Amino acid sequence: MRHATGRARRAGAALAAVLTWAGLLAGCSADGPGPLGMGGTRGDSPAPEDVIRVTPDDGSRAVRPDERLRIQVPGGRLEKVTVVKEQDARVEPVPGRIGADGLTWRPDEARLALAARYTVDVVALDARGHRSARHTTFTTFVPDERFIAYVTPENRATVGTGMIVSLSFSREITDRAAVERAVKVTARPPVEIRPHWFGKDRLDFRPERYWKPGTEVTVDLGLRDVEGARGVYGLQDKTVTFTVGRGQVSVVDAARHMMEVRRDGVLLATVPITAGAPKHPTYNGRMVVMDMLEVTRMNSRTVGFGGEYDIPDVPHAMKLTDSGTFLHGNYWAPEAPGTANVSHGCVGLRDVKGGGSDTPAGWFFDRSLVGDVIEVVHSKDKTVAPDNGLGGWNMDWKDWTAGSAVK
């Protein structure tokens, strides 16, 4: 409550300052003397709206975000300009600057915020040296439709070296360049990070090679009020951060029925596996651990097969693709790992019913992170598609960078 009260107090103080300033200006009309020492009468001084021209007009409603906020005087000079934006119960100043000639003021940010109320207060001198003041307000367009981005990985996660930043949008994006410009992914230590679009609702980011262990990555979503499709505007203005842990890459040799587990280049273990049977081979290529489940149900009908299997308690399951490829514990074919490929496309490690911590599957699960890389070689199947899970590492750098919408 302390923090919420503090924010409310600061917002109230800012609004009070605006109202006080507006009150002072109300007494500073051209009709008589006021606190700023303006004299004269309507007969010898022009009206404030003739001296100070503000666009959008005072009282305007549903102003579009691409309409420019401009403050001008035809002669003389601007003395003071204060612009305040009220949005989502927050009051904050709008930064801008008076031009070198003193005749114009422009905001630093060209686009107006949506669903906001703007208050403009201006003091200026006309060409004859008469001081005038003007107070205006306008409100901006409130959109009916919004879109958001679902971000992978989770905020503050510690991930493996192969993590790809993936944004899945709630609506199809037609202005992909505008959305791409609004998202910034940076790393410390610095590394080049490039985007790639998969269709109209997914935008992924990665470096050319796996992340170095210890890298801190920041994803800045400046999507609020960005028009991603006609009449559909972004809702988010948030930051997601994650840290890259150790670098673990495991290579599954489907022909040898073995998996080599390497961490930071050092071989930790060689583990017996079973891969996809000849009728259902495992994808080749580099896959990234997307999720880790202590136990899960696997039903063949959910991945496009018939009723071949329905196992309610598959232990130590690590999701590798959207199409249903997992690396998991296998207790129902204990002789297969190391000798034969019998699965429907998954990679199985020896385990016991309920999952055991001292089994190969339990050992590997306990030493894995979301974002670790599992690479399959020598399988009699095609390479996994780059958009099937976090499969973007299967695309070379030239093709990856060509997937940007910003040329």
Judge whether residue 223 has pLDDT over 90. Answer: yes
pTM of the model: 0.77
Judge whether residue 54 has pLDDT over 50. Answer: yes
Judge whether residue 276 has pLDDT over 90. Answer: yes
pLDDT digits (tens, 9 = 90+) for 308-322: 778 889 999 999 999
Judge whether residue 4 has pLDDT over 70. Answer: no
What pLDDT band is residue 407 in, cutting at 50, 70 and 90? Answer: confident
User: Residue 265: what pLDDT?
Assistant: 95
| 60: amino acid identity, one letter | S
Residue 328 annotated in active site: yes
Judge whether residue 203 has pLDDT over 90. Answer: yes
Whole-number Å distance between alpha carbons of 7 and 5? 5
Domains of the chain: 2-140 (2.60.40.3780), 145-245 (2.60.40.3710), 248-394 (2.40.440.10)
Which pairs with CB-CB distance under 8 Å and at least 24 residues apart come from 306-314? 308/344, 309/344, 313/353, 313/354
Residues 6 or more apart in contact with residue 315 via CB below 8 angstroms: 294, 295, 328, 329, 331, 351, 352, 353, 354, 355, 356, 361, 362
Judge whether residue 356 has pLDDT over 90. Answer: no
380, 281 Cβ separation under 8 angstroms: yes
Please compute the mean of the pLDDT values over residues 66-76 and round it to a whole number: 94
251, 280 Cβ separation under 8 angstroms: no
| 50: amino acid identity, one letter | D
Judge whether residue 9 has pLDDT over 60. Answer: no
Please compute the mean of the pLDDT values over residues 244-264 and round it to a whole number: 98
Measured CA to CA in angstroms, residue 183 lies from 17, 149, 153, 174, 226 at distances of: 34, 10, 15, 16, 11
User: Residue 205: what pLDDT?
Assistant: 98
Please compute the mean of the pLDDT values over residues 294-307 and round it to a whole number: 80
What pLDDT band is residue 348 in, cutting at 50, 70 and 90? Answer: very high
What pLDDT band is residue 31 in, cutting at 50, 70 and 90? Answer: very low
pLDDT digits (tens, 9 = 90+) for 113-146: 999 999 999 999 998 889 999 999 999 999 999 9
Whole-number Å distance between alpha carbons of 203 and 378? 30
pLDDT digits (tens, 9 = 90+) for 256-270: 999 999 999 999 999
The more confident residue out of 198 and 24 is 198
Judge whether residue 252 has pLDDT over 50. Answer: yes
Judge whether residue 16 has pLDDT over 70. Answer: no
What pLDDT band is residue 20 in, cutting at 50, 70 and 90? Answer: very low
Selecting among 135, 196, 328, 344, the annotated active-site residue is 328
Judge whether residue 6 has pLDDT over 70. Answer: no
Judge whether residue 29 has pLDDT over 60. Answer: no
User: Residue 39: what pLDDT?
Assistant: 40
User: Residue 300: what pLDDT?
Assistant: 75
